[in-house]
Amino acid sequence: MIGYLLNRIGSLIIVVIGVLTIVFFSLHLAPGDPVEVMLGDRSSQSERENLRRTLGLDQPISTQYKTYIKNLLQGDLGNSLHRRKPVAEIIASRIGATVQLALLSMLIASIIALPLGIIAARYPFRLPDRVAMLFSVLGLSIPNFVLGPVLILIFSLWLKWLPTAGHQYDHSWVLPTIALGTAMAAMLARVFRASLIEVKEQIFITTARSKGLSQSRIWITHIIPNALLPLITVWGLQFGTLLGGALIVEIVFNWQGLGSLLIEGIEQRDYPIVQGCLLVISLSYVIINMLIDILYAIIDPRIQS
């Protein structure tokens, strides 16, 4: 188990370094100058050169990369070029909103998907199954940038039940979590249905029926618990995806989280902000995947071999 864990940690480090390297050089080699964004078009050449020297952007890109990695190993994400504040402080003030959005979206998706998957698997290829899978297809087909404005139009502007944007109100989380969790609920329902149907056909389920156990007991004690195992991977992958992919929903609903901060950093050519956001997103994604792999290795020791 220790060897397996060390192997996963080594893979994690390699992936994170690769992501950081690609992001760093992609940002610095892309067209555009953050100094011009900060000072504007009317600034003089001397003003731009002085600011560029102050920010260290006049150094060769290889030197900037070495400095960035050195500071990163010391826990320093640098200072924002636009806000002139530590990147770690800025990210810390915004990541909580994104984690809240991701957790609530996963909760809503699970509440919707698990009953749908059970109903669909309980009556396969019949009307309940077709209705549940129709919802699944619709959930996967409607993108967030379409569903979000539709929800705002119906529940905020027409019915006036919920706030349109922001996260400072009591029920402001409802619409963005529905918009973000719908696609995840649709995918979870399909995965759970397939897993339930597969488990139903196993020999130990036939044995349980031959012992005279009731259908409800078989489902509760045998089928559902065993069918939940494949969902562990989906939940883990989707949580990492929600942390990085919530930016569209955050922009639509003006949710001040990590995704909207990433977009702001890209628009302002704020290299440290973009690099810091992508570092947090990539780290969360690979760490969650590593934890899922370790959990699977504990459940099924054959994976360690």
Residue 161 lies in a domain: yes
* Structure-model confidence comparison of residues 274 and 298, the more confident one: 274
Would the pLDDT of 119 be above 60? yes
Position 13 pLDDT exceeds 70: yes
| pLDDT for residue 266 | 82
Give me the half-sphere count of Cα atoms (radius 13 Å) on the Cβ side of residue 263.
Answer: 15
% of the chain residues with pLDDT over 70: 87
Mean pLDDT within 12-20: 80
Kindly state whether residue 124 falls inside one of the protein's structural domains.
Answer: yes
User: For residue 296, how many C-alpha atoms fall within 13 Å in the half-sphere facing its CB?
Assistant: 21
Can you say whether the dihedral through the CA atoms of 255, 258, 263, 269 is positive or negative?
A: positive
Residue type, 74: Q
Residue given tokens 């560029």 in the structure block? 52
Domain count across the chain: 2
Residue with the larger pLDDT of the pair 235 and 112: 112
Domain match, 146 and 180 both: yes
**Buried/exposed 8-28: b ≥16 CB within 10 Å, e otherwise:** beeebeebbeebbeebbeebe
- Does some domain include residue 299? no
Q: Is the pLDDT of residue 304 over 60?
A: no
Domain that holds residue 186: 95-256
Judgement on whether residues 153 and 222 belong to the same structural domain of the protein = yes
Q: What token pair was written down for 25? A: 């050089």
Confidence of residue 167 (pLDDT cuts 50, 70, 90): low
Radius of gyration of the chain (CA): 24
Look-up of token digits 């060897």 = 3
Do 226 and 158 fall into the same domain? yes
Residue 80 lies in a domain: no
148 and 230: one domain?
A: yes
**Mean pLDDT over the full length of the chain:** 81
> Do both 179 and 102 map to the same domain?
yes
Among 168-172, 247-251, 276-280, name the most confident range. Answer: 276-280
Domain boundary among 73, 103, 134: 73
* Residue 32 banded pLDDT, cuts 50, 70, 90: low
Q: What percent of the chain has pLDDT over 90?
A: 1
Quote the CA–CA distance of 273 and 267 in Å, as a whole number: 11
Determine the 3-state secondary structure of 149 from DSSP: helix
Average pLDDT over residues 190-206: 87
Provide the pLDDT for residue 166. 67
- The answer, yes or no, to whether residue 168 has pLDDT greater than 80, is no
* Under 8 Å between Cβ of 58 and 44: no
Tell whether 122 and 45 lie within a shared domain.
no
Write out pLDDT tens, residues 47-104: 777 777 776 777 888 888 888 888 888 888 888 878 878 888 999 988 888 888 888 8
Average pLDDT over residues 294-298: 72
Q: Please indicate, yes or no, whether residues 14 and 60 belong to a single structural domain of this protein.
A: yes
> In terms of Cα–Cα distance, which of 187, 192, 167 is closest to 241?
187
Whether the Cβ atoms of residue 29 and residue 61 lie closer than 8 Å to each other: yes
pLDDT in tens, 204-260: 888 888 888 888 888 888 888 888 877 877 887 777 777 765 777 888 888 888 888
The residue among 246, 237, 243, 229 whose CA lies nearest residue 289 is: 237
| Shared domain check, 102 and 66 | no
Same domain, 65 and 99: no
Q: Is residue 294 part of a domain?
A: no
What is the structure's pLDDT at 41? 65
d(CA 195, CA 224): 9
CA 282 – CA 176 distance, rounded (Å):
23
- Decide: helix, strand or coil at residue 210: helix
Residue 193 maps to a domain: yes
CATH for 108: 1.10.3720.10
Burial class (CB in 10 A: 0-12, 13-18, 19+), 90: buried
Q: Are residue 33 and residue 108 in the same domain, yes or no?
A: no
> Is residue 159 included in any domain, yes or no?
yes
Task: Indicate the Cα dihedral angle 188, 191, 192, 195, nearest 10°.
Answer: -160
Q: Is residue 112 part of a domain?
A: yes
Span of 11-20, 133-142, 162-171, 211-220 with lowest mean pLDDT: 162-171
Residue of 82 and 126 predicted with greater confidence: 126
Domain co-membership, 210 together with 127: yes
Q: Residues 111, 189: contact at Cβ < 8 Å?
A: no
Do residues 69 and 113 both lie within one domain? no
